[in-house]
Amino acid sequence: MGFGKLGAMGRGFGHLGSLGRAAASTPAWVMSGASADVDFANNRAWVTGLGVVSIASLIAISRASNETDLLWTSASGASYNTFGNDALALNSGGLNIYGAATNLLLNSTVPATQTVTLSATGNYTLWVNGSGSAAIAAGTATITGAGTATNGTPVTINCTATGTVNVTVTGSLNAFQLESGTFGTPLIITAGVSATRAADNITLGTTLNNLWVNQTAGWASMRASSPNQVVNILSRLLDTNSGAAQFQISGSATNRGAVNRNSANAVTTANAYTAGTTLQMSGTWSASAMAISLNQGTVVSGTPAAFTSGTTNLGNRADLARPWSGAIQRLVLGSTTLSNAALQALSP
């Protein structure tokens, strides 16, 4: 039995062969062979021995601000949710996990032409929601990449000398945002001053952490998506002690998945992850071996090393410097070592 339907997210996992079937008392949606199945996209979770439990009982979040789920990819005029401080940003797309960001534009849900000061050099991205547009041009700042943002088409500039830029609104807009970085993050609602969204700091509770790091044999499988991921990043899907045990999308010539049971003993997938798409990453380990497969690609094996277990971050690492910047739809953990064929079958 596979993952089943993930809302609009796509296909299930398919036949799992040697993993066997879930016990009769286990809900039909739980992945076969799982010890824990956290289905963020459908807001449900199950753990062997505990049964159906709330997601909030399995993970913890700290975020000292609210967060919305309106993205630069959202349809023009789309409705959106606002999640309060320390609340999981869950919707039908999964659990949204982003780093800190500041919207420099004022009155962001009533867009109007304005002049903004860029106080640091580097990249900035302007995105909008609505049928109109917003153009960004140099004032006293020195920039390259000036242009016009429309719904679904952001503009990224590079500032080489600080100063002001002019943002000119044309037509009807529902929201707009100007933030540092090379891609847009969820809308930050502002009034008469700029506002900052704090980073999502999400950690696994004891039950899930024990399955991930405190057993010598096991497997893990994740489904995630991001509209933003590009090459030369090191986004963490799971991270214990800043690299002691992790799933990450590694920054190389092409995006690849990596897993390790010690920061010095990583294995990297042979196949690449296409930026902006949904991915499935699966790994298995024992005391003497570990392996990984990305999107049902070639299984790559390696040798694990001992490490000290600790806190595990979901969608980031402990210093919050490697955010996934997207949504995690599902996390499944098992307590046995899988063959290469069974590991590869976990991918969609």
What does the pLDDT look like over 195-251, one tens digit per residue? 999 999 999 999 999 998 888 888 999 999 888 755 445 577 778 876 667 777 655
Give pTM, 2 decimals. Answer: 0.87
**Which two structure tokens, joined as six digits, stand for 107?**
């009155």
**Which two structure tokens, joined as six digits, stand for 167?**
């943002």
Half-sphere exposure in the Cβ direction for 31 (13 Å, CA): 32
C-alpha span between 161 and 31 (Å, rounded): 53
C-alpha span between 218 and 38 (Å, rounded): 16
**Which two structure tokens, joined as six digits, stand for 230?**
């590009």
Instruction: Please choose, from the candidates 255, 216, 254, the residue with its C-alpha nearest in 3D space to the C-alpha of residue 237.
Output: 255
Give the chain's mean pLDDT. 86
* 17-61+201-345 and 101-197 agree in CATH topology: yes
C-alpha span between 260 and 142 (Å, rounded): 43
**Which two structure tokens, joined as six digits, stand for 312?**
């595990």
C-alpha span between 155 and 164 (Å, rounded): 17
In this predicted model, what pLDDT tens digit does every residue of 75-130 receive, in sequence order? Answer: 999 999 999 999 999 999 999 999 999 999 999 999 999 999 999 999 999 999 99
Q: Where are the domains of the chain?
A: 17-61+201-345, 101-197
**Which two structure tokens, joined as six digits, stand for 223?**
């489904």
**Share of residues in the chain with pLDDT > 70 (%):** 82
C-alpha span between 63 and 66 (Å, rounded): 8
Cβ atoms of 97 and 328 within 8 Å: the answer is: yes
Cβ atoms of 334 and 35 within 8 Å: the answer is: yes
CATH T-level fold of 17-61+201-345 = Jelly Rolls (2.60.120)
Is 3.40.1350 the CATH number for 101-197?
no
C-alpha span between 282 and 290 (Å, rounded): 11
C-alpha span between 224 and 329 (Å, rounded): 5
Residue 38, strand partner residues:
45, 331
